[in-house]
Structure 1
Amino acid sequence: MRTEAPTQRQLRVGEEIRHILSDIFRRDMIRDYQLAGVAITVTEVRVSPDLRNATAFVTRLGRNDADKLLPALKRAAPFLRGQVAKAIRLRVSPDLSFQADTSIDYAMQVSTLLHRPEVARDLDETAPRPE
């Protein structure tokens, strides 16, 4: 399976949608009881080549329970799509879907592994090597 790199337009539209969604979440504009007062961070938005679908990767800083918010975000998707349509100039506003961003959790696991004493010792170039 070959995947092509996103075009400049896809990247630009994805970044613009990310900013719009981040602003909506920052201003707490969604009237869903599960999302009220919840700090949601949009880490990335990937847009399909035809710009009709966009997947927003979301997380909650300091917490790893963003997947619990996905049903509420799915319910809010039509409202969010309307807000994106008002803010961005596209022929068709993309359908929005949401996924929990696990890259921060993965980075934390890697960091924890790299700071283990036996790994840190191997990474330290000045430490004497066991023979």
Structure 2
Amino acid sequence: METTRQQKIAKQIQKDAADIFQKEGAQIVRGALVTVTAVRVSPDFSYAKIYVSIFPFEQSDEVMQRLEHQNWFIRRALGQRLRNQLKNVPEIQFFLDDSLEYIENIDRALKED
């Protein structure tokens, strides 16, 4: 179970990461729509798992590779935004949240019937 502080920091990372993708990450996402769906922070705040949804889904592998490659840039930008809340910026990992693709497939299947 997450503490209140973990939840607060996770929400702040989610907000800041979304802002980075929108304003500074145009060269990283290159036309894809990247949505930060969730963030999970370890109890010692040393690791953060960032779950992203990518549209169009066909570009997800390419965008995920670019996110991993530009991890240092995103972490540095997060550090500039979180410097007043955290002493050390957590190591970040990106995970693809394909729940929207799953919902879209179900909708498509229901419309075919």
TM-score using structure 1 length:
0.71
**Matching residue within 8, 11, 27 for 1:12:** 8
1:30 counterpart = 2:22: no
What are the ranges of 5 or more consecutive residues in structure 2 without an aligned counterpart? none
Q: Which amino acid in the other structure matches residue 68 of structure 2?
A: K
- 1:1-131 residue pairs with structure 2 within 5 A? 5-27=1-23, 29-30=24-25, 32=27, 35-63=29-57, 65-88=59-82, 89-111=85-107
Query: How far, CA to CA, are the matches of 1:53 and 1:26 in structure 2?
Result: 23
After superposition, the Cα gap between the structure-2 partners of 1:45 and 1:116, relative to the gap in structure 1 and judged at 3 Å, is same
Query: How far, CA to CA, are the matches of 1:113 and 1:31 in structure 2?
Result: 34
More RCO (CA 8 Å, sep 6+): 2
Kindly indicate whether the alpha-carbon contact (under 8 Å) linking 1:64 and 1:105 is maintained by their aligned counterparts in 2.
no
Query: How far, CA to CA, are the matches of 1:30 and 1:109 in structure 2?
Result: 29
Query: How far, CA to CA, are the matches of 1:53 and 1:7 in structure 2?
Result: 15
Query: How far, CA to CA, are the matches of 2:104 and 2:62 in structure 1?
Result: 20
Q: Which has the larger radius of gyration?
A: 1
Larger proportion of helix: 2
What are the ranges of 5 or more consecutive residues in structure 1 without an aligned counterpart? 118-131
TM-score using structure 2 length:
0.81
CA RMSD of the aligned region, Å? Answer: 2.2
